[in-house]
A and B are shown apart, each in its own frame.
Chain A
Amino acid sequence: MNKDSQMRAAINQKLIEMGERERLKELLRAKLVECGWKDQMKAQCKDVIREKGLEHVTVEDLVVEITPKGRALVPDSVKKELLQRIRASLAQHSTL
Chain B
Amino acid sequence: MKMENMSLSGLDNTKLEALAQDIYSDLVEDACLGLCFEVHRAVKQGYFFLDDTDQESMKDFEIVDQPGVDIFGQVYNQWKNKECVCPNCNRSIAASRFAPHLEKCLGMGRNSSRIANRRIASSNNTNNKSESDQEDNDDVNDNDWSYGSEKKVLIRQMDNVLFSLPGELSSSVNTDPYKYNYNTGINYETLGPDELRSLLTTQCGVISEHTKKMCTRSQRCPQHTDQQRRAVRVFLLGLSATSLPDSNTAVESDGYDASDGQVLMSRLQWDGSSDISPSDSASSKASTNNSDSKKPKKKKKTSLNSTGGGGGGSGSVGGSSSQGCLAGQANRKKPKLPVPPAPSIYDNLN
Contacts and interface: CB of A to CB of B under 8 A. Distances in A.
B73 interface: no
Given A54-B43, A82-B27, A59 B36 contact: yes
A87 B48 CA distance: 38
A96 B34 contact: no
Contacts of A24: 23, 27
A57 interface: yes
Interface in B5-44: 5, 7-9, 15-17, 19-25, 27-37, 39-40, 43
B278 to A, nearest CB: 100
A83 B31 contact: no
A83 B32 contact: no
Nearest to B49: A46
Is the contact region of chain A dominated by helix, strand, or loop, or is it mixed? Answer: helix
Contacts of A46: 48-49
Contacts of B23: 12, 15, 24, 86
B56 interface: no
A7 B8 CA distance: 8
A36 interface: no
A59 to B, nearest CB: 5
Contacts of B21: 83
A93 B35 CA distance: 30
B31 A7 contact: no
A70 B32 contact: yes
B21 to A, nearest CB: 7
A58 to B, nearest CB: 7
Contact of B36 (A10, A21, A63, A87): A63
Counting chain B CB atoms within 10 Å of each CB, the highest count among A4, A24, A45, A57 belongs to: A45
A28 B34 CA distance: 12
A83 B24 contact: yes
Interface in A1-31: 3-4, 7-8, 10-12, 14-15, 21, 24-25, 28-29
A30 to B, nearest CB: 10
B19 A67 contact: no
Interface in A63-96: 63, 66-67, 70-71, 74, 79, 82-83, 86-87, 90, 93-94, 96
A67 B33 contact: yes
B35 A90 contact: no
Given A28-B28, A49-B43, A96-B5, A90 B20 contact: yes
Nearest to A48: B39
B4 interface: yes
A25 B4 contact: no
Contacts of B5: 93-94, 96
A96 B6 CA distance: 10
B4 A66 contact: no
B113 to A, nearest CB: 62
B27 A28 contact: yes
Nearest to B39: A45
B7 to A, nearest CB: 6
Given A42-B39, A54-B43, A57-B40, A29 B31 contact: yes
22 contacts: A8-B19, A8-B22, A11-B4, A12-B23, A28-B27, A29-B31, A38-B35, A45-B36, A46-B49, A49-B39, A49-B48, A57-B40, A59-B40, A62-B39, A63-B36, A66-B35, A71-B25, A71-B32, A83-B21, A86-B24, A87-B17, A94-B5
